[in-house]
């Protein structure tokens, strides 16, 4: 009983009139969550089931969509519970854990996108060397690093600050992110430095790498035939759309937490929901429609389902 009394609870203060629209919020977000799981899982299933899709490019797509499911699962269950609860609260240890999961899978997203960019770079710029460079062993190593590196860095940083004393207990958000540091009594210089280092490692450096690879790809295909340009566009454009979408939303989240924006609660809620709704929901749509081979298998799957 004493342990329960000693637990520190944080109020998630980013909700807007949840007492009035709790059922509406729950139904909409629950529907979105089911759609995210089903749409992403279908593409992952197709890639695993069909041997013609057992290529590095499609394996990375499957990993990215699986990451979207895990990323969403870190947020939605707690969010749905909060909609039906009288109080939107979370224990401090649980809040730190949610923050670790959120940023770990967010970092994995950037690393997986950079891996996909590298795969396209080798395929288009070094086609003869592609089979020897992008081996199954290379793909496995990339996938392991894409998930372990962000998790290790984020866990280490947050663990260093887990025992910091809190002076505030209301978090301006609907889930736990790095805004949790604003609740601490003293701002740690080491914490800020580690935060910048992690941001460089799992977001900015992968972004610069992606820009470099696509610049090289554009240089190579500039004087190529129309068929080469068309093929490059079909495989590269979906990755760029996903990257741009995710980057914009992450930039908002980072800037919003680092700087004090005088935004209304409603605007802040809408912008935050975009991060956990649009991106994981749009990913399977983009890849399902834009990637010719995946689209072909999707049509076959749905045609079979009708009969």
pLDDT digits (tens, 9 = 90+) for 97-141: 998 998 899 889 889 999 998 998 898 888 889 999 999 999 999
**Neighbouring residues of 146: CB distance < 8 A, sequence distance ≥ 6:** 63, 108, 111, 112, 115
pLDDT for res 304: 67
Block residue for tokens 């749409």: 39
pLDDT for res 44: 93
Cα-based distances in Å from 136 to 9, 51, 188: 46, 14, 43
**CB of 79 within 8 A of CB of 177?**
no
pLDDT digits (tens, 9 = 90+) for 84-100: 988 889 998 899 899 89
How far apart, in whole angstroms, are the C-alpha atoms of residue 68 and residue 55? 20
pLDDT for res 2: 39
Q: How confident is the model at residue 278 (pLDDT cuts 50, 70, 90)?
A: confident
Report residue 89: phi and psi, to 5°.
Answer: -125, 160
Tokens in use for 176? 């736990």
pTM: 0.87
Tokens in use for 105? 């899978």
Does the structure show a pLDDT above 60 at 1?
no
Tokens in use for 147? 């998930």
How far apart, in whole angstroms, are the C-alpha atoms of residue 103 and residue 241? 21
Element spanning 101, H or E? helix 92-125
Could you tell me which CATH number the domain at 7-306 has?
1.20.1070.10
pLDDT digits (tens, 9 = 90+) for 40-54: 999 999 999 988 889
Tokens in use for 53? 């899709």
**Domain range annotation of the chain:** 7-306
Rg of the chain taking only CA atoms, in angstroms: 21
pLDDT for res 115: 93
**CB of 262 within 8 A of CB of 17?**
no
pLDDT digits (tens, 9 = 90+) for 157-168: 887 777 778 888
């Amino acid at each position: 009983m004493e342990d329960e009394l000693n637990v520190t609870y944080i109020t998630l203060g980013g909700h807007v009139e949840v007492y009035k629209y709790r059922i509406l919020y729950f139904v909409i977000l629950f529907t979105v969550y089911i759609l995210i799981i089903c749409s992403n899982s279908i593409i992952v299933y197709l890639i695993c089931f069909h041997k013609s899709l057992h290529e590095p490019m499609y394996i990375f797509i499957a990993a990215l969509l699986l990451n979207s499911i895990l990323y969403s699962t870190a947020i939605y269950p707690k969010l749905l519970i909060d909609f039906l609860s009288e109080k939107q609260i979370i224990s401090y240890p649980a809040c730190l854990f949610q923050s670790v999961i959120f940023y770990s899978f967010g970092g994995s997203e950037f690393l997986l996108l950079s891996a996909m960019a590298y795969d396209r770079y080798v395929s288009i710029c070094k086609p003869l060397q592609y089979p020897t460079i992008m081996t199954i062993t290379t793909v496995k190593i990339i996938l392991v690093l894409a998930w372990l590196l962000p998790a290790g860095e984020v866990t280490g940083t947050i663990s260093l600050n887990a025992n910091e004393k809190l002076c505030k207990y209301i978090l301006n958000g609907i889930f736990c992110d790095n805004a949790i540091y604003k609740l601490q009594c003293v701002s740690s210089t080491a914490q800020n430095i580690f935060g910048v280092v992690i941001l460089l490692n799992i977001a900015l450096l992968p972004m610069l790498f992606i820009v470099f690879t696509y610049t090289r790809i554009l240089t190579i295909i500039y004087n190529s035939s129309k068929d080469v340009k068309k093929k490059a566009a079909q495989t590269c454009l979906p990755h760029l759309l996903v990257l741009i979408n995710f980057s914009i939303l992450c930039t908002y989240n980072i800037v919003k937490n680092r700087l004090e924006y005088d935004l209304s609660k409603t605007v802040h809620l809408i912008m935050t929901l975009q991060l956990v709704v649009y991106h994981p929901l749009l990913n399977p749509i983009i890849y399902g429609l834009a990637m010719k081979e995946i689209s072909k298998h999707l049509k076959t799957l749905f045609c079979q389902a009708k009969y």
